[in-house]
């Protein structure tokens, strides 16, 4: 019996996906619950498993876009593993017994023989015509003695080129020498190739959302700087015991998430958003953490972050970061969020203006910690400083609230004991 393998419904907002990678080939025997294919949606990568055992026949190829419900493959459940059918070759592609079989020409000592005009690659032919170089004077190093662009470049730069006879020789006489011409030739200066790759579903969706944020929100950014001395000392004092007890490193993200929650409690509009003519305020704190992956930026959400300890926040962020790189985040983990924290400092960014993650109204940007001279108590001292940025929707958040929000972040991080007592 043939059983269809369809694109599953992986989320209410997901209507289509791209076949990222087939884990099996047509003709393979697969067992129930084996992973058949990886689908890339605009939110996450989803694995589709076999619901039955049987021999698979692939219908949709890798890279094709499929909608929910589309048939991607079929399983022959009557076939057995020992007698699994192999991928068949069309009869038209098999040579007839009476058909004339043309054998490739025997290899020649092309590595030492000059290349003929027919042995030129398109790029090499174009260069020889532009510079008036006789290809028969150049030894080809490509496959079967084929003359490549690199061969022509090496020949010209060596100064051993001679103009061709006939019309090309006349043209060469009225032009600068090939060696001089080569200095201004883009082809001689190096490869100038181009390549095109389709955008991943995640990157396309991210691009759409970011453009929408720019078009629909009145985005402003305010800045402040934080003295990281105390939180760095706290981290250095306890990081070894923390790692030993919880099995995860003690970073700065958990401190900023805790500080952000305290600031959100003080300024609830920053934790809300606009829907039509209404402002939606949230009494819970689902904090999105921007994570870079090979397929684009993703923002998994730590739900009810206000209920989690520093250790639980670090474990959640570390787990999300690892699974984002492996493409293992689920749709549910990527959905929602009332506020986002982004750490560009891990890439060396000193300052930036982060873009909102719609429909959210604000995003906090962390940056690189850098020692700078600052004035403390009337004295110039060297302190580890970090710039922080808050991008916000001015339709819902006023300047007073945005500045006050960052001041609250600054106070909590510079004096971590405030987080413990909630002041």
DSSP codes joined into one string, 228-256: -HHHHHHHHHHHHHHHHHHSS---SHHHH
pLDDT tens digits for range 34-55? 888 888 776 667 788 888 888 8
Check residue 120 and give its pLDDT: 66
pLDDT at 235 over 80: yes
pLDDT at 183 over 70: no
> In terms of pLDDT, which residue wins out, 223 or 321?
223
Q: What is the average per-residue pLDDT within 139-157?
A: 74
Residue 63 to residues 24, 50, 60, 72, 388: CA-CA distances in angstroms? 15, 20, 9, 12, 40
Angle between helices 229-246 and 310-326 (to 10 degrees): 80
Check residue 82 and give its pLDDT: 45
Instruction: Compute φ and ψ for 163, nearest 5 degrees.
Output: -65, 150
**Candidate from 73-77, 372-376, 379-383 with smallest mean pLDDT:** 73-77
Rounded to two decimals, what is the model's pTM?
0.62
Q: What is the average per-residue pLDDT within 58-85?
A: 76
Check residue 207 and give its pLDDT: 82
Domain segments of the chain: what residues? 2-83, 117-189, 201-421
pLDDT tens digits for range 268-319? 999 999 999 999 999 999 999 998 877 777 899 999 999 999 999 999 999 9
Confidence of residue 404 (pLDDT cuts 50, 70, 90): very high
398 is annotated as an active-site residue: yes
Confidence of residue 335 (pLDDT cuts 50, 70, 90): confident
pLDDT at 241 over 90: yes
**Among 33, 237, 398, 415, the one annotated catalytic:** 398
Do the domains 2-83 and 201-421 sit in the same CATH topology, yes or no? no
Confidence of residue 255 (pLDDT cuts 50, 70, 90): very high
% of the chain surpassing 90 pLDDT = 40
pLDDT at 90 over 50: no
pLDDT at 329 over 60: yes
Residue 258 to residues 321, 410, 418, 419, 422: CA-CA distances in angstroms? 19, 12, 10, 7, 10
pLDDT at 108 over 60: no
**Candidate from 140-144, 261-265, 310-314 with smallest mean pLDDT:** 140-144
Which CATH class, in words, describes the domain spanning 2-83?
A: mainly beta
Most confident of 133-142, 294-303, 354-363: 354-363
Q: What is the average per-residue pLDDT within 183-209?
A: 72
Q: What is the average per-residue pLDDT within 317-343?
A: 89
194 within 8 A of 341, measured Cβ to Cβ: no
Q: What is the CA radius of gyration of the chain?
A: 31
**Among 237, 282, 394, 415, the one annotated catalytic:** 394
Mean pLDDT over all residues of the chain? 81
Q: Tally Cβ neighbours within 10 Å of residue 58.
A: 20
Q: What is the CATH number of domain 201-421?
A: 3.30.559.10
- Enumerate the β-bridge partners of residue 227: 385
Q: What is the average per-residue pLDDT within 341-354?
A: 93
Residue 20 to residues 201, 289, 351: CA-CA distances in angstroms? 10, 25, 35
CA distance 407 to 221: 14
Residue 6 is inside which H or E element, if any? strand 2-6
Check residue 363 and give its pLDDT: 97
Check residue 122 and give its pLDDT: 65
Check residue 173 and give its pLDDT: 46
282 is annotated as an active-site residue: no
């Amino acid at each position: 019996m043939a059983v269809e393998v369809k694109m599953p419904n992986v989320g209410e907002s997901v209507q289509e996906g791209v076949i990222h990678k087939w884990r099996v080939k047509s003709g393979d025997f697969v067992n129930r619950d084996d992973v058949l294919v990886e689908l890339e949606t605009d939110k996450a990568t989803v694995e589709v498993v076999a619901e039955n055992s049987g021999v698979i026949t692939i219908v949709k190829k890798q890279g094709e876009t499929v909608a929910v419900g589309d048939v991607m493959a079929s399983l022959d459940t009557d076939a057995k593993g020992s007698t699994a059918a192999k991928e068949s070759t069309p009869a038209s592609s098999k040579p007839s017994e009476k058909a004339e079989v043309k054998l490739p020409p025997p290899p020649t000592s092309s590595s030492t023989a000059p290349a003929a005009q027919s042995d030129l690659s398109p790029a090499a032919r174009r260069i020889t015509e532009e510079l008036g170089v006789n290809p028969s004077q150049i030894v080809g190093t490509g496959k079967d003695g084929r003359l490549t662009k690199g061969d022509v470049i090496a020949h010209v730069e060596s100064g051993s080129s001679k103009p061709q006879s006939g019309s090309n020789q006349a043209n060469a006489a009225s032009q600068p020498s090939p060696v001089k011409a080569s200095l201004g030739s883009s082809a001689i200066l190096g490869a100038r190739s181009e390549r095109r790759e389709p955008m991943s579903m995640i990157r396309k969706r991210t691009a759409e959302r970011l453009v929408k944020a720019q078009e629909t929100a009145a985005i402003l950014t305010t800045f402040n700087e934080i003295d990281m001395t105390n939180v760095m000392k706290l981290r250095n004092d306890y990081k070894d015991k923390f790692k030993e007890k919880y099995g995860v490193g003690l970073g700065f993200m958990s401190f900023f998430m805790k500080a952000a929650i305290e600031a959100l409690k003080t300024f609830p509009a920053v934790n809300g958003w606009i829907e039509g003519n209404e402002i939606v305020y949230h009494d819970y704190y689902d904090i999105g953490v921007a994570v870079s992956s090979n397929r684009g930026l993703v923002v998994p959400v730590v739900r009810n972050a206000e209920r989690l300890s520093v250790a639980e926040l670090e474990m959640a962020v570390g787990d999300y970061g690892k699974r984002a790189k492996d493409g293992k985040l689920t749709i549910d983990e990527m959905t929602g969020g009332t506020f986002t924290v982004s750490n560009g400092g891990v890439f060396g960014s000193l300052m930036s203006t982060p873009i909102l993650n719609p429909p959210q109204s604000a995003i906090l940007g962390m940056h690189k910690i850098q020692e700078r001279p600052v004035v403390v108590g009337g004295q110039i001292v060297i302190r580890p400083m970090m710039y922080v940025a808050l991008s916000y929707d001015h339709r819902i958040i006023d300047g007073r609230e945005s500045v006050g929000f960052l001041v609250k972040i600054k106070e909590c991080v510079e004096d971590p004991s405030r987080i413990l007592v909630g002041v």
